[in-house]
Amino acid sequence: MTRISVMVDGVSYVDDVEPRTLLVHYLRERLGKTGTVVGCDTSNCGACTVHLDGRSVKSCSVFAVQVDGSEITTIEGLARDGQLHPMQQAFHDNHALQCGYCTPGMIMQAIDLLGDDPEPDEHTVREGLEGNLCRCTGYQNIVRAVLDAAEKMKPPVRATQQPSTVAGGGA
């Protein structure tokens, strides 16, 4: 067992974990963060995507011991004060989900994608979501949602405040 200290969705945890425990299993089984799900065993589907220190990772490809001292944001930590993240809202507005199983990972990846390129075109969005599989939607409305969120997350022209956090990490 190895002791780790980690901040998940704004709460700090200190836990002893087996070296082989995957981050996704730590989140789901130890912390009850079942919003993050497992869709495959080869890191192809992206359903388990979370943010690790502000960047997206597939939490099935990270060991829990590797996140010692880090901040994790899951789908459950995105909404602030009852306010949906603009990406969550855009998925709802654009009917970008059906069964919803891929949705948490898809939303986390889409936010990261906008962190890299706040004004992507359709092609960039499709390429940026390549590691996240959806079987229901044919992706068309997911792409539409990400473009819609990008539009809404644009900082206002001549704004004095900082652009809103794109890939938030509990900050």
Partner 1 sequence: MTATTQPTGELGRARRRKEDARLITGRTRWTDNITLPGMLHMAIVRSPLAHAKITGVNTGAASKMPGVFGVFTATDLGAQDISTPCAWQVTPDMKSPKAPPLAVDTVHFAGEGVVVVVARDPASAEDAAGAVEVDYDELPPVLDMEAALADGATLVHPELGTNRNALWVFDSAEAGTGGDVEQAIRDAEVVVKRRFHQQRLMPSFMEPRSIVVDPTGEQLTMWSSTQVPHIVKTMTALTLGLPEHKVRVIAPDVGGGFGGKLQVIPEEFLTVLIARRLGKPVKWTETRSESMVATHHGRAQIQDLTLAARRDGTVTGLKVELIADMGAYLRIITPGTPLLGAFMFNGIYKFPAYRFTCTNVFTTKTPTDAYRGAGRPEATFAIERIMDELAAELGMEPLELRERNWIKHEEFPFTTVAGLNYDSGNYEAATAKAKELFHYDGLRAEQRRRREANDPVQLGIGISTFTEMCGLAPSRILGALSYAAGGWEHASIRMLATGKVEVVTGVSPHGQGHETAWSQIVADRLGVPFEDIEVLHGDTQLAPKGMDTYGSRSLAVGGIAAVKAADKVIEKARKIAAHMLECSEADLEFAQGKFTIKGTDRAKTIQEVAFTTFAAHNLPEGMEPSLDSDATFDPENFSFPHGTHLCATEVDTETGRVTIRSYACVDDVGTVVNPLIVEGQVHGGLAQGIAQALFEEAVYDEGGTLISGTLADYLVPSAADLPSFTTDRTETPATSNPLGVKGVGEAGTIASTPAVVNAVLDAVRHLGVTDIDMPCSPQRVWRAVQSARGAAKSTSEHTTEAAAGGGLGSIDAQGGAQ
The contact set with partner 1 (CB under 8 A) reads 18, 20-21, 28-29, 32-42, 44-45, 47, 74-76, 78-79, 84, 88, 91-93, 95, 97-104, 107, 122, 125-127, 129-143
Decide: helix, strand or coil at residue 25. Answer: helix
Helix (H) or strand (E) segment spanning residue 113? helix 103-116
CB of 109 to partner 1, least distance (A): 10
Q: Least CB distance from residue 161 to partner 1, whole Å?
A: 26
**Is 52 or 107 the residue whose CB approaches partner 1 more closely?**
107
- The pair phi, psi for residue 65, each rounded to 5°, is -65, -20
Nearer to partner 1, 7 or 102 (CB): 102
Q: Which residue's CB is nearer to partner 1, number 37 or number 153?
A: 37
* Smallest distance, partner 1 to C-beta of residue 160, A: 31
The CB-of-72 to partner 1 minimum distance in angstroms stands at 13
Q: How far apart are CA 20 and CA 75, in angstroms?
A: 24
Give yes or no for a contact between 164 and 153, defined as CB atoms under 8 angstroms apart.
Answer: yes
Whichever of 7 and 101 has its CB closer to partner 1, that residue is 101
Q: Are 87 and 96 in contact (CB under 8 A)?
A: no
The dihedral through the CA atoms of 142, 146, 152, 153 has a sign that is: positive
